[in-house]
Amino acid sequence: MSVRIAGAGGDLPSLPARSPQGHKGTFGKVAIVGGSVGMSGAVCLSTVAALRTGSGLVTAVVPASIQAIVAAHEPCVMTLGLADSAAGLLPVQDGQFRQVVAGRDAVAVGPGLGQGVAQLGLVRWLLEHCECPLVLDADALNLAAAGELLGAGSVSRTGRPVVLTPHPGEFARLTGLTVAEIEADREGLAVQFARSTGAIVVLKGPGTVVTDGVRTWVNSTGNSGMATAGSGDVLTGIVVSLLGQNSGGFEGAAIAVCAHGLAGDAAAEHWTRRGLIASDLLNFLPEAWRRLDQSEVLAKSF
């Protein structure tokens, strides 16, 4: 399989290099902030996806009330439990979150986060103070829309990549447009929003659009079996992992989208599209990396 058929907009960027002399600190220290009572699975999916993408160290930052659940799901994931509200939601406390982001190579926020005043403050704090690459997904996007945190130039002045991964409904809330209007001009509107804010936009769906406002990648991997709860959480983990391995914002997002779809295609070959669930993608991510590695070798041989 050639990488050149994986999407439109030029060749897919190369995968991050992995030094034979590397160690777990070399390959990225990432944190994924989210989770709430009844929504622990979202963080579990994201963190394991980050590990399966090659991150050296992955930490789930979750409410203390669900820390044991997340920790038991995958022993390779580290957990940090923060004192939570009576509703089982993460609070925002300046001192705690400076500790959360310290030393991280990339941070993602949103999977299973929940919505409220404290969560809005958390997302605002990360946008203003997190100095490493940042990924916003799910509830973080809805909070950003409600709090009008992503206005013109809001991201470009921060000096580090911020990747947004909305589905059409979330993008509608961010832009004030209808889903029908977005679906009628997916690429154009994604480019426009990326240019306005300075963010990298990953507009999910069939033919996922990845753009930084200048470059655009339209993906062609994946299938309808991936239209299932949790699939986006897996993508978030892949994106943040690649950013933590020093992929650029646009480059990491494009690679992530392609690999996510390849994992879905491999999973559907095994489980069928109808029978596919999001956790299947985790088991087939290694196959996606194998296919991309082979494609790079093939491309370089010509």
| Residue 20 is assigned to a structural domain of this protein | no
When pLDDT is cut at 50, 70 and 90, the band that residue 86 belongs to is: low
Mean pLDDT of 34-51: 97
| Residue 190 is assigned to a structural domain of this protein | yes
When pLDDT is cut at 50, 70 and 90, the band that residue 301 belongs to is: very low
Q: What is the pLDDT of residues 67-80, one digit of tens each?
A: 999 999 999 999 99
Instruction: Give how many domains the chain has, as a whole number.
Output: 1
Give the Cβ contact number of residue 227 at 10 Å: 14
* More reliable by pLDDT, 277 or 84: 277
Q: What is the pLDDT of residues 157-198, one digit of tens each?
A: 678 999 999 999 999 999 999 999 999 999 999 999 999 999
| Residue 14 is assigned to a structural domain of this protein | no
| Residue 183 is assigned to a structural domain of this protein | yes
| Residue 10 is assigned to a structural domain of this protein | no
Q: C-alpha 141: how far from its chain's center?
A: 12
Average pLDDT, the chain: 91
Give the residue numbers spanning the domain of 68: 27-300
| Residue 1 is assigned to a structural domain of this protein | no
* More reliable by pLDDT, 298 or 248: 248
252 pLDDT higher than 90 = yes
Amino acid 12 reads: L
Q: Provide CB contacts within 8 A for 281, sequence distance 6+.
A: 49, 226, 231, 234, 260, 263, 264, 267
For residue 91, the model assigns a pLDDT of 59
Q: What is the pLDDT of residues 109-167, one digit of tens each?
A: 999 999 988 889 889 999 999 999 999 999 999 999 999 999 888 887 678 999 999 99
| Residue 7 is assigned to a structural domain of this protein | no
Q: What is the pLDDT of residues 266-275, one digit of tens each?
A: 999 999 999 9
Mean pLDDT of 234-241: 98
| Residue 53 is assigned to a structural domain of this protein | yes
C-alpha 100/C-alpha 185 separation (Å) is 38
CATH of the domain at 293: 3.40.1190.20
For residue 276, the model assigns a pLDDT of 98
